[in-house]
A and B are shown apart, each in its own frame.
Chain A
Amino acid sequence: MSAIIQGHPGIGRGVFEGEALCASDGFSARYDLDLERGVFARPGHQLHGESFADRIIVLDIAKGGVASAWMLNVLMQGRYRPKALLLNKANPIMAQGASFAQMPLIDRFSVDITKALKTGDRLRLHPVEGRVEVLQSEEREELV
């Protein structure tokens, strides 16, 4: 049974599916990731050591300076790339970078997205409508 979580219309055209990788930390393309190994590499990050390849990253807020905009493109052109990014709140640099890098991005959900989802959830994203479908969710039956 799939549940729907509604966010603000996002970045990216089409429908995207993948497995969620969740934490309540922030997200910085510049300081949190090791692009060569495809993992979260900043020691203090809750996802430290986790592979982001082919997963939908689910975190709280966007962090990092102006350079992040180019660096999302480096990320999405690299060997290991995430499927998409879901945040409670993005910022202009993250939105600009996601648009340029063609990285699907949705934010501003009706719920705390880092609590509504858990790592391993299977998701289907519709960025134009800002909609997230949770395709399987073992512990919860309904989400709005």
Chain B
Amino acid sequence: MRLSDLDQAMLAGEMGGIRANAMRHMVEVGGFFDAEHLVDIGQAHIMADTEALGEVGIAYLEGLAEASWEERRVLVPTITDPRGADFKAYDRIRQDRAILRLEERARDALQSLGVMMTDTCINYQTLMPPVKGEHLAFGDTGVCIYSNSVFGARTNFEGGPSALAAALTGRTPAYGFHLDKHRHATHRFAIGADLADLVDWGALGALIGERMGSYLDVPYLEGIETADSDQLKHLGAAMASYGSTALFHIAGLTPEAGGALDSSSDLPVTRLDRSDIEAYKARFAMQDDGLDVVVFAAPQLSLMELHRLGQMLEGRRVADGVTLIAATNPEMKSAADRMGVTDRIEGAGAILLEGVCFYQMHARELAAANGWQRLMTNSAKLANIIAGYGYVPSVASMDRCVASAVAGKSV
């Protein structure tokens, strides 16, 4: 691997032991994937919730925080993925105080490195969108696939330790989606369905994701003429969750679709229609109409989604025995507070959380503490993940989810 003078200086410890370790990590990972060099990055996004970090991960961050400011500070703007608890609302959903203490320790350690605690998986909608061609070290898979596909930025899936190493060096190894050769389509899909609701976009993402065989597979979609940011957010998040997919192209819509088929115009075409989307949703059909919790998250809700949820809940009341949770980031929560959206949502007995995204907030313990099992959501990504935490999920439109929460049973 060719290293710049600055890379070599960092590796040699001339900028402190923390940066030397970070550079060693990137050289090792880059070597594993045959990277020829490192590239400068514009931003880093770190997944560092306490469920993933564990006690040893928190202690590791605290160890970094003990170094001098010059040695420990991140070198590029660095932001965080949702954390494991909402400091302002943890007690409303019976989260253990001990979890909060862990979150506080992780937050303090990350802040001491100069990390901005944005606690969001919708940074591309709400903070600073990536730019075409910009190299990034982004953590959450939904953030990565959106940044690569919709903006034409360049990032791999970066686990917490690698995103942090990138932040501490301003560099990342040039493999995978940083390279032109991996951004061409490998699979081709003709979409024959009218995608009305966000859950349909998530279902389509799931159907495509589960047909992908490996990380470097890139689907190319035809037949979608228009889309908004929330629709592509749900499409990408589900695709990444089901398929470990990090990049898609949509003919006529996304910035790199134009040349994506250049070397592969004879790819076989898989057709996906309304019946496939309905069949996906039917996989989650419940035995009875029982319902414990309705969740809108994964990804966090945009202001538009919150606004719509507020309108749906106005004048209605979530039934006793059912909990309705929506999750967003602190910026959109603040906007929702200011615009009366939070009042409309919480006035109906629902709970609007900030800085969390449900499945990363010790969901198994939450289920035990609240007696939750049957979960309804409009997120295909959440439905995919949450069964692993002991829930029985089903998917439906936001309308149907809200109607069910109000009725106290799945409708």
Whether B156 and A92, one on each chain, are in contact in the complex, defined by CB atoms closer than 8 angstroms, is: yes
A97 within 8 A of B: yes
Whether A10 and B32, one on each chain, are in contact in the complex, defined by CB atoms closer than 8 angstroms, is: yes
**Assuming the A-B contacts A92-B215, A93-B159, are A66 and B139 also in contact, with contact meaning beta carbons closer than 8 angstroms in the complex?**
yes
Shortest Cβ distance from residue B365 to the other chain A in the assembled complex, whole angstroms: 15
B194 within 8 A of A: no
Q: Which residues of B contact A90 (CB under 8 A)?
A: 32
Whether A96 and B162, one on each chain, are in contact in the complex, defined by CB atoms closer than 8 angstroms, is: yes
A78 nearest CB neighbor, chain B only: B56
Whether A92 and B51, one on each chain, are in contact in the complex, defined by CB atoms closer than 8 angstroms, is: no
Whether B161 and A31, one on each chain, are in contact in the complex, defined by CB atoms closer than 8 angstroms, is: no
Count of inter-chain pairs, beta carbons less than 8 A: 98
Q: Which of B43-66 contact A (CB under 8 A)?
A: 47-49, 51-54, 56-57, 60
Q: Which of A66, A77, A89 contacts B158 (CB 8 A)?
A: A66
A-B contact pairs, 11 of them (CB 8 A): A66-B47, A66-B140, A67-B49, A67-B52, A69-B160, A73-B60, A89-B214, A92-B162, A93-B159, A96-B159, A96-B162
Whether B161 and A95, one on each chain, are in contact in the complex, defined by CB atoms closer than 8 angstroms, is: no
Q: Which residues of A contact B141 (CB under 8 A)?
A: 65-66
Q: How far is the CA of A4 from the CA of B402 in the complex (A)?
A: 60
Q: Which of A66, A77, A92, A105 contacts B56 (CB 8 A)?
A: A77
Shortest Cβ distance from residue B138 to the other chain A in the assembled complex, whole angstroms: 9
Whether B159 and A11, one on each chain, are in contact in the complex, defined by CB atoms closer than 8 angstroms, is: no
B24 nearest CB neighbor, chain A only: A99
Apart from the given pairs A70-B159, A100-B162, 15 other A-B contacts in the complex at a CB distance below 8 Å:
A9-B31, A63-B244, A66-B141, A66-B159, A67-B47, A70-B52, A70-B161, A71-B54, A92-B159, A93-B159, A96-B25, A96-B161, A96-B162, A97-B159, A99-B161
Whether B160 and A8, one on each chain, are in contact in the complex, defined by CB atoms closer than 8 angstroms, is: no
Whether B57 and A93, one on each chain, are in contact in the complex, defined by CB atoms closer than 8 angstroms, is: no
Q: Which of B32, B51, B156, B176 contacts A11 (CB 8 A)?
A: B32
B258 within 8 A of A: no
Shortest Cβ distance from residue B123 to the other chain A in the assembled complex, whole angstroms: 14
Q: Which of A11, A74, A105 contacts B57 (CB 8 A)?
A: A74
B351 within 8 A of A: no
Q: How far is the CA of A59 from the CA of B112 in the complex (A)?
A: 39
Question: What are the nearest 6 A-B pairs in CB distance?
Answer: A69-B159, A100-B161, A67-B52, A74-B54, A96-B162, A77-B56
Shortest Cβ distance from residue B33 to the other chain A in the assembled complex, whole angstroms: 7
B220 within 8 A of A: no
A71 nearest CB neighbor, chain B only: B52
